[in-house]
Amino acid sequence: MGARSVNDRQGNKVVWLLGLAGFMVMADNWVLSDRYGKKQVISVAMVMFTLATGLCALGAGLTSVALLRALTGIFAASVMPISFALIGDLVPVEHRQKAIGTFLGIAYLGQGLSMAVGGTIAFLYSWQGVFVVYAGLSLIPTALLLRAYHSLPSGKDPQARMLAPYGELLANPRSLFTYAVVVLEGGLIIGSFSYCGSLLAKTFGMNSLRIGLVMTGFGVMSVIGGRLSGRLVASIGARGVLRLGLGLAAMADLLIWRGGGSLGLFAVAIALMGLGFIFTHAMLVTRATGFAEKSRGAAMALVAFCFMGSGGIGKALGKRIIETRGMTSLYLIYGLGLVATLLATGVLIRDRRPSAEAVLEAPEPA
């Protein structure tokens, strides 16, 4: 036990060091987007992402593929937050919730489809074929982005700072509380979603293709919810959309806990999870776009770091829960966690006027 405890401590130390290193790399990358222009950085990132994805097909073994995938991840990690920041620059505040919701819905439809599409390609051809197809598909948006390059605003700020914007964002209670909700959302929703495929395989004996088809419901409802989110903000307010999203996500987890033995109910739960996620995350991202107009890249970087970082923690904690209490207990615990998050938003998110415009009003860091 002593040796294992030492190894665990060493492992945890390495994880924290890697996380800190990753934060510094991401922080520097995204402040590059503020300094040199969002369209410039995202264009380079998409070109390099496409190239790195194609190179993965040439990997001779696990090590080389892992290194190439890490390279792909570096460029992929820049795309989402800089896209949010660019949308914040391009889209007026009154239309921003719908735009971000639509963007998120399309993006997470790709995640929902990836298992089914990738599984089919790997089954019919090979795992290398998956990377070839995805590299080919990524050429399309990359080419379209480069074609529209000159019509996009540059948005360069040579005076952009690296660390100061983060300190200012975290020192402001309004933005700090928003990031706190992002942490809770990421840990609980990503932690829940990550084990749905394993639970489908365990409960129903599904292969990757069938699991992917069921999981696609998450992406489909994300697209639908993204289109609806802007209208809902106008009718029930941004806080109402946030609470609705957290409530639907909690309902999804609790439905899996109680009715996960029914494939029909499981599919409904996956769809509710997608709808709950898109309502929640689109609102929080939209809110964050208003925190720092001149440092919007940094504001979006912090959203991405909080969301993905807490998602990793949520998965790790989920693994421990599954090992000690069983897989369905995970959904009970995380479902109750989402209910608690829903209640906490009444304290953490307290804008006086729950309109789309009020959600985005915030003091800008100096």
Q: What is the mean pLDDT of residues 104-113?
A: 74
With CA atoms as reference, report the closest residue to 315 among 180, 192, 183: 192
With CA atoms as reference, report the closest residue to 314 among 160, 189, 191: 191
Q: Does residue 153 belong to any structural domain of this protein? A: no
Structure tokens at 34: 């503020």
Helix, strand, coil percentages for the chain (3-state, nearest 5): 85, 0, 15
Over 60: is that where the pLDDT of 94 sits?
Answer: yes
How far is Cα 322 from Cα 31, in angstroms, rounded to an integer?
39
pLDDT at 154: 64
The answer to whether 215 touches 194, Cβ cutoff 8 Å, is: no
Q: Does residue 154 belong to any structural domain of this protein? A: no
Selected residue with higher pLDDT from 6 and 137 = 137
**Tally of domains in the chain:** 1
- Reported as a single tens digit per residue, the pLDDT across 164-201 is 777 888 888 889 999 999 999 999 999 999 999 999 99
Q: Does residue 322 belong to any structural domain of this protein? A: yes
Instruction: Specify the range with the lowest mean pLDDT, choosing from 88-92, 107-111, 168-172, 344-348.
Output: 107-111
Q: Does residue 194 belong to any structural domain of this protein? A: yes
Q: Does residue 257 belong to any structural domain of this protein? A: yes
CATH code of the domain in which 68 resides: 1.20.1250.20
Q: Does residue 156 belong to any structural domain of this protein? A: no
- Reported as a single tens digit per residue, the pLDDT across 279-304 is 999 999 989 888 876 677 778 888 88
| pLDDT range class, residue 157, cuts 50, 70, 90 | low
Q: Is 59 exposed, middle or buried (0-12, 13-18, 19+ CB in 10 A)?
A: middle
With CA atoms as reference, report the closest residue to 222 among 280, 168, 155: 280
For residue 241, the enclosing domain spans 2-148+162-360
Q: Which residue type does 165 have?
A: P
The answer to whether 267 touches 305, Cβ cutoff 8 Å, is: no
Q: Does residue 155 belong to any structural domain of this protein? A: no
| pLDDT range class, residue 208, cuts 50, 70, 90 | confident
pLDDT at 200: 93
User: What is the reported pTM?
Assistant: 0.76
The winner for highest mean pLDDT among 30-34, 151-155, 215-219 is 215-219
Over 90: is that where the pLDDT of 255 sits?
Answer: yes
With CA atoms as reference, report the closest residue to 189 among 109, 251, 98, 114: 251
How far is Cα 347 from Cα 360, in angstroms, rounded to an integer?
18
